[in-house]
Structure 1
């Protein structure tokens, strides 16, 4: 199976079209204004997907099976509280505390209309017909009831799935949508839509495994340099529109380091921390360092900036050296640029630069956390799409397990 940017771009537009139709139908049913949030094409493994379901209490969903132009499953997922809020708008005299038969019916009806909105959008873009089964109401506090019998969601092979979010303006109501196409169905569509030689899917799978190891090494490096025990909490490979990247970044003041890297591939690498995490890092690396409440113009003195940029520089070197080792190429990166800004503003320069030559991007998105201490680090690796395609076409997949994915690090003397 091969994929290329043209085919994935069509899939992305298909997902956006479906999300727009679904949002409009939710507005019509509930008289609540809605908006489409982030739409992504996710390349994820089963254990990464299950993380989404096991992190926020009980969920409620409506699932349908698809056949025709797309075989697979379409699933609408609400947090329990959001599903009950929808019930309150649709069912008179409902206490909306439990999912009795009437409330289940209301949620199922909404879920079916939402699923049909997405599916009609895909069918419009593909100019084809997609058949839909009878909807199934599901609830649970883990991924098993929702995904347990879906082959593409349960294994640890890299699966392509579609994820969209819709939010009700001015309320807490929102939900996520997942499309799980079968591998054969996806291969047929990719073959129809592909406009270039494309990338072998197995090579993208291999590169993702390499990036997974690189993310784990970043966490180990952070632990070595700061003394704070860290681990990889979330890691995804997304295919998104460039304009959607700022929407993924937390809407708060962030501290970080940005790099441009050149070689095969070229692109950008960002490490972003919330202010509390940055302060914790500075305290760990420079005991006399200055946290964000001091008198410097942006809240960080020279020693604080140096600690953050030093950590970012060493993590970037190890991460990119790992890519270069496996790809058997050379990747150089720029000097670190210190960032202290609102989330979207931190990534806008990257989006503008990449937008000169491309509309979409593969984004390696990683969140590193620490138990019991403030250390939230979001890592965004965004390669140039044409460089990435060349690098993957030349990739020897067998090298991935045989080649070290990081450089050796020396302990930093925290004095």
Structure 2
């Protein structure tokens, strides 16, 4: 399958998967912090890798990236990212501590667990919708420049695809805006499996 030939129907279905997955992930986060969370309708786009760093403004913008391998019937990666302000707020709320200039090991571990619960909920909803076996690996966290974090999946999948499914999720706890982004990066064969499982016929 050539991802560049995805028609509008396929894109709409991928967007709907993103909406449902994000909604379930936010529900999981709300259960962690014990607060009501309101979510904007996610922005879902199929993008080129070289467009992604523009999401963060500059390639040298520092972000928190929580990275997972996709395992089972679907191969690829998921990256969940938070800007530093959002990550700091979640830590301060959950742990009752002010984050210093750098995240401590225990604070990084807490962020990994947040990412793990949200990504796990996201993948579980996709697995249910497609009836495909989908699992995630244990999380790996990196706090670095956006360009460096995004280079990991870009290098790994550059020979298979230069496309990435981007799900921008903005949610609110009270008046506080928290921005988290999911990057779903299935390989080409797995994109095909997902769409076939949904009964989609591709043009071309």
Which of the five TM-score ranges fits, normalised by the shorter chain?
0.7 to 0.9
Q: Is the 8 Å Cα contact of residues 160 and 188 (structure 2) preserved in structure 1?
A: no
Q: Is the 8 Å Cα contact of residues 18 and 42 (structure 2) preserved in structure 1?
A: no
Q: Is the 8 Å Cα contact of residues 215 and 232 (structure 1) preserved in structure 2?
A: no
Higher RCO, 1 vs 2 (CA within 8 Å, ≥6 residues apart): 2
In 1: Cα distance, 2:73 partner to 2:11 partner: 15
Q: State the partner residue of 1:317.
A: 120
CA root-mean-square deviation: 2.4
One of 266, 272, 279 as aligned partner of 2:81: 272
One of 365, 380, 384 as aligned partner of 2:167: 365
Q: State the partner residue of 1:255.
A: 64
After TM superposition, give the deviation of residue 240 of structure 1 in Å. Answer: 2.6
Structure 1 330/388 Cα, relative in aligned 2: closer, same or farther at 3 Å? same
One of 40, 56, 60 as aligned partner of 1:233: 40
Q: Is the 8 Å Cα contact of residues 170 and 177 (structure 2) preserved in structure 1?
A: no
One of 3, 11, 30 as aligned partner of 1:223: 30
Q: Which runs of 5+ in 2 are unaligned?
A: none
Equivalence map 1:172-183=2 (5 Å): none
Of structures 1 and 2, the larger Rg is shown by 1
Matched length = 197
Structure 1 357/286 Cα, relative in aligned 2: closer, same or farther at 3 Å? same
TM-score, normalised via structure 1 length: 0.43
SS of the equivalent of 1:375 reads strand
One of 9, 14, 19 as aligned partner of 1:212: 19
Q: Which runs of 5+ in 1 are unaligned?
A: 9-42, 44-159, 161-200, 294-298, 398-415
Q: Is the 8 Å Cα contact of residues 43 and 169 (structure 2) preserved in structure 1?
A: no
